[in-house]
Amino acid sequence: MAAPTSTNDYLRPEIASTLGNFELVAKFVVEGFITGLHKSPYHGFSVEFAEHRPYLPGDPIKNIDWKLFARTDRHYIKQFEEETNLKSYILLDASRSMNYTSDPKRITKYRYATLLAAALSYMLQRQQDAVGLGIYDENIRVFMPARLKGSYLREILKALQTTEPSNATRTQASLRLLLERIKRRGLVIIISDFLDNPEDVVNSLKLIRHAGHEVIAFHVLDPVERSLSLKASDATIVDLETNEFIKTQPYQLQATYQKAMDNFIETLRAELTAERIDYLLMDTTTPFDRALTEYLYKRQMIG
C-alpha cells in the first residue's frame, strides 16, 4: 500500500484504517475533505467552517477574534461565530454481522462504520453542533447524550475505538429504546448494514422520522455482500449472528442472490425516500467524502 502523501489520502478507508488513533483519523479525514471541497464545484454550498479570514473594511467589529489578535497583532474574523444549537446523534450498529470482511486486506464493515462515525463527529463539532452517540446490537451498548464540548468529542472517539461488534441484531427494538432517550428534535444519523427484517428496519427509521428528526441512513456493506462474487469454486457461507452455514458453489447462487440483494436495497431506498429520509448506500471501499458531502447537504437544509 502506498504511503499517504497528504491529508486528502485519508478519505480512502484503506489509508485511514492504518491510523490507530481515532482522533487523528477524524482530523485527517475531515481536513482532507475540506481541502477537496475548497477545490471543487461544491465550495460554497455548505455552511461556513469554523475558520478565520483577514478582517476587511465593512466587517462587523464584533466578529473580530480578539484573542487571536492578541497573539498575532492582526485582525481576523471568525467565519462561524454563533452556535447553531442543533443536536445530532450518530447511531451505530455493532451487531456481529458488522464484523464481516470478504478480504483480510480490506477493513470490516464495523471498522469502516466507526471511522465514518469518528469523521462525522469531528465534522459536527467543527460546525458547532452538539453531537451524541448510540451504539446498539440486541440492546443499547453505549448511549452518550448530545453535547458541544471538545473534551466530550474525545470520549465519543474513545467509545468508538473500544467497542467491538457482538450479539445479534434487533434493529427495531434497539432504535426504539434509543429514540426514547433523545429528548430534543435534531439530526439522527444511522450507520448499519441493515441486515435484519426489512420491515423492522423501515418501521424503526420511520419512527425516528415521525418523531420530528431529520434522518440520514448510511447503508454499509462489503462489496462481496452486494455481488456474491467469490473467487473460490466451493465455499462455506456462515451467518455471523446465528452461526448457521451452508456449503455451496457460489456461481450457482450468484444470480438469485444478486437479484434478492438488489430488491432489498431498492425497496429500502424507496421506502426511506418516501419518508424523506436520506439514504446512501456505501461499501467498505467507498471514500468517506461521499458521506461527508451527504451530511453537509442535509445540514444546509436544516439550517
Instruction: Share the mean pLDDT of the chain.
Output: 83
Residue 183 has pLDDT above 80, yes or no: yes
Specify whether 271 is located in the same domain as 146.
Answer: yes
What integer is the mean pLDDT of 213-233?
A: 83
Specify whether 69 is located in the same domain as 145.
Answer: no
Specify whether 125 is located in the same domain as 205.
Answer: yes
When mean pLDDT is compared across 82-96, 239-253, 267-281, the lowest value belongs to 239-253
Domain membership of residue 172 (yes or no) is yes
* 102-121 pLDDT tens trace: 888 889 999 999 999 999 99
Specify whether 54 is located in the same domain as 69.
Answer: yes
Domain membership of residue 124 (yes or no) is yes
Residue 138 has pLDDT above 60, yes or no: yes
**Is residue 186 very low, low, confident or very high in pLDDT (cuts 50, 70, 90)?**
very high
Q: What is the DSSP letter of 2?
A: P
Residue 158 has pLDDT above 90, yes or no: yes
Specify whether 75 is located in the same domain as 219.
Answer: no
Residue 49 has pLDDT above 60, yes or no: no
Q: How far apart are CA 204 and CA 31, in angstroms?
A: 34
Domain membership of residue 104 (yes or no) is yes
**Is residue 157 very low, low, confident or very high in pLDDT (cuts 50, 70, 90)?**
very high
Domain count, the chain: 2
pLDDT at 242: 59
Q: How far apart are CA 279 and CA 270, in angstroms?
A: 9
Residue 270 has pLDDT above 50, yes or no: yes
Specify whether 234 is located in the same domain as 216.
Answer: yes
pLDDT at 109: 97
Residue finishing a domain among 33, 59, 82 = 82
pLDDT at 91: 98
CB-facing half-sphere around the CA of 147: CA atoms within 13 A: 11
Specify whether 165 is located in the same domain as 196.
Answer: yes
Specify whether 121 is located in the same domain as 68.
Answer: no
pLDDT at 61: 76
Specify whether 60 is located in the same domain as 186.
Answer: no
pLDDT at 175: 96
* 25-35 pLDDT tens trace: 999 999 888 87
Judging by beta carbons within 10 Å of its beta carbon (0-12, 13-18, 19+), is residue 187 exposed, middle or buried? buried
* 63-103 pLDDT tens trace: 777 777 777 777 777 654 344 468 999 999 999 999 999 88
pTM for this model (two decimals): 0.80
Domain membership of residue 18 (yes or no) is no
Q: What is the DSSP code string of 231-249? A: S-SSEEEE-TTT--EEEE-
Residue 174 phi/psi, 5-degree rounding, is -70, -45
* 279-291 pLDDT tens trace: 999 999 999 999 9
Domain containing 123 equals 87-302
Specify whether 221 is located in the same domain as 140.
Answer: yes
Specify whether 75 is located in the same domain as 110.
Answer: no
Q: Percent of the chain beyond pLDDT 90? A: 51
pLDDT at 300: 74
Domain membership of residue 102 (yes or no) is yes
Specify whether 92 is located in the same domain as 58.
Answer: no
Q: How far apart are CA 194 and CA 268, in angstroms?
A: 9
